[in-house]
Structure 1
């Protein structure tokens, strides 16, 4: 079995959250997960179980709030029991592989920027010395949507460094939690805790993804090709999003790089070595949804030339990240 067939066969056995993490770990980029008010705790616990069982990575869930301080945030990044030292290369200062920051949009902007520094440089300076993240470090802001079209706000620069977003709704499944007799959200577990593999029994028959499997997806993605017509379609989506009167910003140069990177990984995930318009459209929804800044009627340029504010507000009343993407993706796709 070749790598593409092996990858596409593996994906069929994974849940949507596992696929999201599979893509991000292969891309060595970070992602954002959106949940609802009812299931955010269950999503956090499911992500932790996926990290420890499917990917065999250490993981921590940090319960954030407006009262979370920088020292509290940094102290949660290191596994329980590890002693800090000032030495930047000390193993005790190693950050866990995956950080799930629940309600991260509630913390101060300064903490979000420190998280960005850790994502970019894999190092973070604290009062107690340096924290160092592993090569396969993954940071996951887990935020709550109050409604289907809600757009929780993160720091602009942090948000721009997240390759994709994924929404896990109340009706979506939880592979590991549903196999357990006790739903973790109903138990008396600490909201902020480190989950280790020894704490959770692996699910029988469930696939395990090691670094070799991640490398195969990464290499398969790099070999994906695209025709000139698909390249044009790819560029048109970015341009139309930038020019949309309903978009005030967020479609950055970095988002275009991520758009291409994720498109190729998704093609490999589907078992093909070329890009199709449908895969490009899927990648657009994953890459741009959390980036789109919806324009305010009072900032519309047409007001400078005599447009009525109420009329502009009525035109833009439909505008949400989802409807904006749907309207842009009505572009005629190449055959």
Structure 2
């Protein structure tokens, strides 16, 4: 079971942060969609999720029907920070005084041109022999700035990936499978913390337009409702607004600072976590552990206050992800829960609204189904898999995989069913309806 501090941070995450966390724990990738008019805001929000919550480097790929493989490789590769060579120290002769230079023996000065010439010849021979790149200052070799190779970004946000050509989508599938990408000059390997997110436009009730194998390879799918807001974008806007007021009022004037604090105190920050106080009572005497937040001070039940900070930004480290991955592998799945999970899979596979042979309920999807159940249990601080987590996992694993069958190809039509009646039954049906039918018909274990 995870410690309380880690669980407290997980409970303070938003839906987008949590979706990224589950994928990083499982070392898988996801699809996130929203309304067409909010796609830019969703992309910016995911970029801030990667940099602020997980401290990872994001890269955005804008996909169009004209995107090429070279465009894809150039977008996901990030240039590292420029190399700053150390400042060479001056020769010892430059730091001597005129009197010391006059007292220098003539033999040393006469031999110095020969040593310098030999050093230059050996340095030139070394560069010609080994093909090193750089500049020579005396006998010192200084590497050229910018010779470090670029690397793949930690988080790749592929916007409108369903609009990209088939060869680009296949290249993305190869990147997800092998964690490598082949460019014209080299083979680039993905970093250890690697997440690929397909950012798509969707109404939330239809499947994606991705290549079938690539679509099936994605771990989960999540539809972000614009009414839920974009927490990180709102916080970034507040910080810029408060900073502009602070600079406008002279960098610390009383009026500007007060206005900034008043503006910040009227906002509920969803990505900030109220950390437990070290004075919380856990089973003995002393003060009660219930504390109310008032500004930046804590107030006990008896009315006394303390100036301990109550909110800190949520930050998930690499060690936290590794801890959750280890706990997920230790989650126990009872045979009754496993039978319930397989019954849900069987019901969805034989549902009359699911297109036969459409790759909806594949073996890979069943594997992802069980894997997500374990990850959700670890994120909830449970050492076992509960039936409610099975239902939650089904709603995230299968929506982007299920395809609704055309009325003319529905199974009962070939046995004499009326086509108009079948069309009336399938009218308005979506992947979510199939999943809800499966969860309603299959009895969950007690």
| TM, length-normalised to structure 2 | 0.66
Offset at residue 328 of structure 1 (A):
0.8
1:260 is paired with a residue of what secondary structure? helix
Distance (Å, rounded) in 1 between the aligned partners of 2:19 and 2:148: 29
2:266 equivalent in structure 1: none
Offset at residue 5 of structure 1 (A):
3.2
Offset at residue 93 of structure 1 (A):
4.1
Residue pair 1:124, 1:131 contacting (<8 A) in 2 also: yes
Distance (Å, rounded) in 1 between the aligned partners of 2:158 and 2:239: 20
2:222 equivalent in structure 1: 166
Distance (Å, rounded) in 1 between the aligned partners of 2:163 and 2:192: 27
Distance (Å, rounded) in 1 between the aligned partners of 2:205 and 2:20: 23
2:161 equivalent in structure 1: 104
Matches within 5 A, 1:139-288: 139-145=196-202, 147-181=203-237, 205-248=312-355, 249=358, 250-288=360-398
Regions of 4+ moved over 4 Å: 80-83
Residue pair 1:30, 1:139 contacting (<8 A) in 2 also: yes
Residue pair 1:7, 1:269 contacting (<8 A) in 2 also: no
2:254 equivalent in structure 1: none
1:334 equivalent in structure 2: 445
Distance (Å, rounded) in 1 between the aligned partners of 2:81 and 2:162: 27
Offset at residue 3 of structure 1 (A):
1.9
* RMSD, aligned α-carbons: 2.1
1:334 is paired with a residue of what secondary structure? coil
Stretches of structure 2 lacking an aligned partner (at least 5 in a row): 83-146, 241-270, 273-310
2:199 is paired with a residue of what secondary structure? strand
Residues 158-191 of structure 1, C-alpha deviation per residue, up to 9 Å, x if partnerless? 111111011111101222111122799xxxxxxx
Residue pair 2:204, 2:223 contacting (<8 A) in 1 also: no
Distance (Å, rounded) in 2 between the aligned partners of 1:227 and 1:21: 27
Q: In 2 relative to 1, CA 159–273 (structure 1 residues): closer, same or farther, beyond 3 Å?
A: same
Stretches of structure 1 lacking an aligned partner (at least 5 in a row): 84-89, 185-201
Residue pair 1:82, 1:93 contacting (<8 A) in 2 also: no
2:75 equivalent in structure 1: 76
Distance (Å, rounded) in 1 between the aligned partners of 2:234 and 2:325: 31
